[in-house]
Structure formats: C-alpha cells, structure tokens
A and B are shown apart, each in its own frame.
Chain A
C-alpha cells in the first residue's frame, strides 16, 4: 500500500526558513517523480514543485521560485522541500504527491503538513 507521510510543518516568522519532509513507502520510490502541492486555508490547490525520479530536474511555481528548493534522497525514500524567505502567503497545508504510473496525474497524496507563517 502506497503511503506518503509529511512532516516538518510548524509556525514560523516571516523571513524564516523551514524544511518539510515526506517519507514514502509501498512503492519503488526511485521509479517516480514526486510533487509538492499546497492549499492555503479555505483556498484552492496550488501546485508548488516537481522533482524527477533521479533528482536531475526540478521545477517550481513562479510564486516560490528562488525561495523553495525541492530535493530527494532515494536511499531514504524521502522527499524534501526547503523553504526560505517565508511569507504570510506561504501559509498552507503542504501535500506531497506521487507521479502516476501512466501519467503525471496525482493518484497518491499524503495527509499534508501545516505551515503557518506569522509574526
């Protein structure tokens, strides 16, 4: 059974940094690209970032480019999101999600970890 478990979400002040983690089980982690998607309270889904299976390519939403860095450690079946220069508008539930078998649609999602940016 595929499981994705995020951690690392806490309250942080504007300008601060945070690293989110996502531990993956139940599938061959280094066969798949992985995503981060976020959802601000009461708002819609926002795709944040993608990393290819080998970490060789990364992609970002314009809203986080230059501030966030996605990475992975295939030896630990783990995905990460380093978040720097945090802003109030980064407050959201952050989900990690697994790329699909036959498409890049997102079948499997974690339960999310909440990041709150506030002074």
Chain B
C-alpha cells in the first residue's frame, strides 16, 4: 500500500506569513490528491482536490501544487482563522490513505 508522509508535523507562523505544507506519496499517484482542513472539534473540510483545484467557497489564499509523489499546500497570507490541522489524502485507488496531519498554530 502507498504511504502518505506530511511535513512538518506541526508549525507555528505569524499572521500574514506564507505557509507551506508538504505531502509525499511512497509511489506515484499522479494528481489524485486532496487537502483537508480540520478545526478543533469540527468536521474535516475539503480545501483542494486533484492536487490543485480549489474547492468551491475556499478562500483563494489556499493553493495546491505538485504531482506524482510530491505535493504542497500553500497559504499565501496566514489568517487567524486558519489555525487547524491539515491532512492530505490519496484517492487514486483504495486504500484512500490520509497523511498524519500538520498542526498549524499562530505565533
């Protein structure tokens, strides 16, 4: 099975900073990758699918890139409401594995 590795596991940044989270698949998954945001006590929310397509209603400061094994989620200007844990997920074939998550905090 394909393993998904996110880095870093946690990070702290200031409001207005550019933030990048990385997700690496152990095998090529072309662009079958999604990013989710989960705020404390809340249901996960889809941010990006197909590696770079922004889900409707998601602020444009979020963007995704990459293909094959390496992907990134970028927040262009961090806002206080972006405090959350972020997960990548592969969906090219089952099992639809999630990364271990990246916890983002405000400095």
**Nearest A residue to B56, CB-CB:** A107
Indicate if the CB atoms of B96 and A104 lie closer than 8 Å. Answer: yes
Query: Which residues, 54 to 107 on B, are CB-close (under 8 Å) to A?
Result: 55, 85, 87, 89, 91, 94-101
A101 vs B97: C-alpha distance when bound (angstroms): 20
**Nearest A residue to B91, CB-CB:** A104
Number of interface residues of A (CB under 8 A): 23
Indicate if the CB atoms of A44 and B43 lie closer than 8 Å. Answer: no
B contact face: mostly helix, strand, loop, or mixed: loop
Indicate if the CB atoms of A59 and B34 lie closer than 8 Å. Answer: no
Indicate if the CB atoms of A103 and B34 lie closer than 8 Å. Answer: yes
Please pick, from A45, A60, A61, the residue contacting B36 in the complex, using a CB distance under 8 A: A45
Shortest CB-to-CB span from B44 to chain A, Å, is 6
- B residues near A (Cβ < 8 Å) are 1, 32, 34, 36, 38, 43-44, 46, 49-50, 55, 85, 87, 89, 91, 94-101
- A residues near B (Cβ < 8 Å) are 35, 37, 44-47, 50, 59-62, 95, 100, 102-107, 109-112
